Amino acid sequence: MAAEVEKKPVSMIDPSQLLRPEPTFNDKPIDAFRDYSVDDTDPIKERVRRTYYLMHSNVTVDLVKQKREKWLKFNHFKATVKDALIKLNELVDESDPDTDLPNIVHAFQTAERIREDHPDEDWFHLTGLIHDLGKVMAFYDEPQWCVVGDTFPVGCKWADSIVYGPESFKDNPDTYNPKYNTKYGMYKPHCGIDNLLMSWSHDEYLYQFLLHNKSTIPEKGLYMIRYHSFYPWHAGGDYRHLSNEKDEEILKWVTEFNKYDLYTKSEKVPDIEALWPYYEKLIEKYIPGICEW
C-alpha cells in the first residue's frame, strides 16, 4: 500500500531561482534578481554552485533511467492535489529571496498573476498553482540536485548555456562516452524535444504524474510544466538542432508561463484561504480526487 505523505521537513535550495546567466534576463532591473556569481566566501553562492556541480557530475543517461523506473511507478503515496500543495509548504526553500514567505505563497502569486492577465483560461491558473508540485519527491530522500534547478537533455553534448557550463560536467562519465558526447549523441537531427531524455527533476515528474492520473489540463499547460526549467533551450537558445516545428509552439507557451514563474514578486500576499474555493474547483475540474504519486 502506498505510504501517506511523511511529516519530514526538508531544506531545499532551488538554484534555478537564483542564477540566470542567459542574455534574455540581462535587462531585468537590478532589484529583481539576486547576484549569484561565484564567490568562495559567500555560503549561499557556494551552496548553489555545489548543488549544480553535484547535479552535473551525477546526472547520466543511466541515472535518469533509474529515476524514471523509481518514480514512474507512482507508488510512493496517495493524496489529493490540495493536500500535496499544503505538504509542499513544509519545504524550507533556502533559495527563495523572500525566505519568510511559505512556498504556497509563490504558488498562489504565480497563479493569481496569470489569472489577472488570462482571466478566461482557468487551466492556466491551475498550471501556475501546481507547477512546482513535483518537488514532493524531496520528502522521499531524493537529493535536491535531482529535484530542483535547471534541466537539460542527457545523451548528447552539454550545451554552453547550461549553468556553470560544460566544465561543471568534468566528473560526469557521460562526458567521455563517445555515444553521448557529440552534438547529436543518441538523437536524430530535429527529433523534437519530446524525444529527448531530460535530466530528472520536478518538471518531468509532475508532467508524468499528470498523465498517469489522467489530468485534463490542455497539452500546452502540460508542456509549460514539463519544460519550465529547461532554460538552456527556452532562454539560452541551445538545442535548436534537436527541436522541430512543433517545439516552436511549445516555446511560445513556456516563455509565456515563465513571465509569471521567474521571480514572481508582489508586496501583496494573496488571501490564500479566500482563494482556495476557486482553485479547489479547478483541481476538481482538471485533476480530481485522490491521486497516485
Judge whether 93 is annotated as a binding position: yes
β-pairing, 291-292 with 78-79? antiparallel
Judge whether 135 is annotated as a binding position: yes
The residue to which cell 482571466 is assigned: 119
Judge whether 34 is annotated as a binding position: yes
Judge whether 83 is annotated as a binding position: no
The residue to which cell 529547461 is assigned: 230
Judge whether 266 is annotated as a binding position: no
Find out whether 177 and 192 touch, Cβ atoms under 8 Å.
no
Helix extents (H) in 16-102? 43-58, 61-71, 81-88
| Residue 79, SS3 per DSSP | strand
Separation between Cα atoms, residue 282 and residue 268, nearest integer Å: 23
Judge whether 228 is annotated as a binding position: yes
Phi, psi (5° rounding) for residue 235? -115, -35
Phi, psi (5° rounding) for residue 152? -160, 155
Q: Which helix (H) or strand (E) holds 291?
A: strand 291-292
Judge whether 70 is annotated as a binding position: no
Judge whether 20 is annotated as a binding position: no
What amino acid is encoded at 138 in this protein?
Answer: A
Judge whether 132 is annotated as a binding position: yes
Judge whether 203 is annotated as a binding position: no
Residues 6 or more apart from 42 whose CB is under 8 A from it?
A: none
Residues 6 or more apart from 11 whose CB is under 8 A from it?
A: 91, 92, 94
Judge whether 40 is annotated as a binding position: no
DSSP letter at 159 equals P
Judge whether 226 is annotated as a binding position: no
Separation between Cα atoms, residue 225 and residue 211, nearest integer Å: 12
Cα–Cα distance list, 57 to 199, 239, 248 (Å)? 12, 20, 30
Separation between Cα atoms, residue 175 and residue 177, nearest integer Å: 6
- Residues placed in the known binding site for Fe cation: 106, 131-132, 202, 228, 261
- Residues placed in the known binding site for substrate: 34, 93-95, 135, 149-150, 228-229
- Residues placed in the known binding site: 34, 93-95, 106, 131-132, 135, 149-150, 202, 228-229, 261
